[in-house]
A and B are shown apart, each in its own frame.
Chain A
Amino acid sequence: MAATTTETALRTRARPQIVARDARREPTGWTSWFTTVDHKRIGILYMATAFVFFMVGGAEALLMRLQLGAPENNFLDPATYNSLLTMHGTTMVFLFVVPMMSGFANYFVPLMIGARDMAFPRLNALSYWLFLAGGVVFYASLFYSPPEAGWTMYTPLSTEEYSPDGGPDAWIFLIHLTGISSILGAVNLYVTIANMRAPGMGWSRLPLFCWTVLTFAILLILALPSVAAAVTMLLTDRHFGTGFFDPTEGGSPLLWQHLFWFFGHPEVYIMILPGFGIISEVLPVFARKPIFGYKAIVVSTVSIAFLSLLVWAHHMFTTPISTVVLAFFFLSSVIIAVPTGVKVFNWIATLWRGTIVMKTPLYFAAGFIAFFTLGGISGVILAIFPLDWQLHDTYFVVAHFHYVLVAGSVNAILAGIYYWFPKITGRMLNDTLGKVSFWFTFVGFNATFLVQHSLGLDGMVRRIYEYSTSDWHALNLVSTIGSFILGLGVLLTVVNIVRSLRRGTVAGPDPWKGNTLEWFAESPPPPHNFDAIPYVRSVEPMKDIRRQVERDTRTRQRETELTYEEAEPVGT
């Protein structure tokens, strides 16, 4: 009886306590990065590798922008240009955004739910190494012949007859390797979130980032088999004489598009949903206010995921399909704007009447809301199929998806980096340099992509390596200059990261006064994350813990008559 009372008291009071460390010693040295199964180290590997690919993909984009800066430019030949556009798209989707989100999820999901590691640590390591292998296999094609058929690899252009070199094969193996990696990672994340939450953390107390990661995982599991099947069929078409996509052998080029986009459209949400999660974590912390409409955000996340499986043919509005199909995919696509709009309204309502602390993560989060909204609106315009007949495959589409993926996912990723860097490294990123980086990316991004809407409306089609109309010169030049400003902005963040790794201000466990459990651990967290796992009583467990500590400190203060100052992190 007495024992139970103490246990309950301990659980409800949830105070930080010192428990003797696990005796196991941390492995050190560079080889430990190859053998590690620690979710935090794997998370760092994921994020670092993905960021390197981000730099590579960005450089490819800048080369393309240089070529398009002037009409009838001879800087790049068409073959190089086509490989650059293929590698840029593939890199950003498969080697940057998705693995970056996996990296965040790997590092922070166990910490946020109060777990000591992922459910399957070894499988987790395998996921990372498969992802890296995919990237290496793909980039190895630089040494023979990189693929030229675009990241969508449409048949028949990607079949052996029209792409006889090995490029598409490198792409196929990339899809297989990163695909298996993602499925294993998704299963791991799903099992971790479903089973390893701290005591008291019911589904309605799960941090929103974990909700979005859960949805991300389910979407990956549902969507990836379709593209895996498609690329396998492409492989056998290319080398073993099958004719799945060949109309002269009873196949169909449209089959490829259906299978690819059945994966490809959920993939868009796979890339943005964890970003939604990051924004939903950052906003309440910096507005000093609970998230507005937690349940509505969860429900909209899940409904976006469900609807995203029903909209794939809106990428195919100009192919030979009947009006009934067009109308269905038009309606299913515009319906997505409802849950997405709900999210945007909830985020703004979270800021409303807050006490907004203007730090770098909040800047990127606000940039996300501002320009993701524009991407959402141009998305509704593109979903209207008669309008899509004009806009499809033009720079309007390029502008649209960069507003979603750069203003959306990349802003969310940068917000996440500035928000969580202190937790990962124990040091703060420089706030001023961060804001300078934000303004450069902000100006550069809009200069690059806003004008592309106009280019598309004016008739400039995408994926052309040159144009002869001088009408398009001015806006293309603006876009090219903008892209370099954007690149500079990202580079400033890289400089910030490199500088702060050694010289950043020491952060302490909870520099932002966070809401979620990762801020309960030390910065950086020890291998086992937590000495004691607290009982979770709300969706903001850290707020409860801070309140408890404050109350206890005050009591003790009165007892010892010591003056107490609110603990602020050093140097902020």
Chain B
Amino acid sequence: MPSRSRRRLLAVALTAVAVASLALAPQAMADYLTPESGGGSRNAEEIDALFKWVLYVAAVVFVGVEGALLYSLLRFRQRRGRKGAVAAQIRGNTSLEIGWTVGAAVVLIVITVVTFVKLPGIKNPERSGPGGATAAGALFASVDQPGPPGGKGLTVDVNGQQYVWRFTYPNRAYSYDTMIVPTGTTVILNLRAQDVIHSWWIPKLGGKMDAVPGYTNKTWFKVTREGAYPGQCAELCGRGHAEMLARVVAVSPARYRRWVADRKRDIDQANREAAQQRRTLSPIAE
């Protein structure tokens, strides 16, 4: 008797915890149960949506399996009074076994179909917005990443090096660590690495892609809202791996145009001054 009432108490407590966590989960846990999304790029949003689909299916499977397991463990344990009870000597049940094999396959087919339906929205770049900044960039894909529809977009070369990211813009201006991009514009990234493998990842701007020496990998994003989007190198690249941070800052197309032109002018200026200095300091001066 006491063990039964204890068990009932436990059952009530467990149910209460389950209900409470279900009620509180959506608000408190939303960020902990799904990938980063919100305010970033469409590919991140689509990955998030696909993840939720799969998560719901997975939750049903998980609850079903764990429930069956727990039920069997609680219901069919040997009891003190009935020590001699003989278990049902069942060796199998062909139709049941075929049933759950087919059932498992059907679940996976559903997941596969949903994935392929969602895939184009994640993989294929979006069309640039009407006011987006564009520049003609060479869009040849070494991997089968298509360019944005209409051919309008911005191509940025991303170069991973121990332990910093270098970004080269279409006018050959460059920056480190922080990439400035215009909002409403599809940005195509050409990912390269000059020493070891690095991996480009800004969680809110879509999935990661590796930058592998000797290869050009491609990915894209289109930021809708101005702001800073942090991320970091995702492939172990040496002792400074944890400090290899990256940040994408989205600004209005007009501000981007201004910034990238200023940046180019500053770099040219600095290069000219450096060349001058080298000439004056050269030991074999003419």
Residues of chain A having any CB pair with chain B under 8 Å = 78-79, 82, 148-150, 154, 156-157, 161-162, 247-248, 252-254, 287-296, 318-323, 327, 330-331, 334-335, 337-338, 341-342, 344-346, 348-349, 351-358, 366, 369-370, 373-374, 377, 380-381, 384, 386-394, 454, 457-459, 461-467, 475
Contacts and interface: CB of A to CB of B under 8 A. Distances in A.
30 contacts: A79-B239, A156-B213, A157-B237, A248-B214, A252-B214, A288-B78, A296-B92, A319-B215, A320-B142, A320-B143, A320-B209, A334-B112, A342-B100, A342-B101, A344-B65, A352-B76, A353-B87, A355-B76, A373-B62, A377-B58, A377-B61, A381-B51, A381-B54, A387-B35, A389-B208, A389-B209, A390-B47, A390-B203, A390-B208, A457-B33
A289 B87 contact: yes
Contacts of B105: 338
A387 B199 contact: no
Contacts of A459: 36, 203, 231
Nearest to A475: B32
Nearest to A471: B31
| Interface-centre pick from A150, A351, A461 (highest chain B CB count, 10 A) | A461
A393 B108 contact: no
B34 interface: yes
Contacts of B26: none
Contacts of A355: 76-78, 85-87
A78 B240 contact: yes
Interface residues of B, number: 84
Contacts of A292: 90-93
B123 to A, nearest CB: 7
Nearest to A384: B115
A314 to B, nearest CB: 13
Contacts of A454: 29, 32-33
A330 B114 CA distance: 13
Nearest to A324: B144
Contacts of B58: 377, 380-381
Interface of B: 29, 31-36, 44, 46-47, 50-51, 54-55, 58, 61-62, 65-66, 68-69, 72-73, 76-78, 85-93, 96-97, 100-101, 104-105, 108, 111-112, 115-116, 118-119, 122-123, 142-144, 162, 195-197, 199, 201, 203, 206-210, 212-218, 231-242
A320 B236 contact: no
| Interface-centre pick from A289, A319, A344, A381 (highest chain B CB count, 10 A) | A319
Nearest to B119: A386
| Interface-centre pick from A293, A330, A349, A386 (highest chain B CB count, 10 A) | A386
A342 B236 contact: no
Contacts of A318: 199, 207-210, 234
A293 B97 contact: yes
A377 B208 contact: no
Nearest to B82: A355
| Interface-centre pick from A162, A252, A338, A358 (highest chain B CB count, 10 A) | A338
Nearest to A163: B238
Contacts of B73: 351, 356, 366
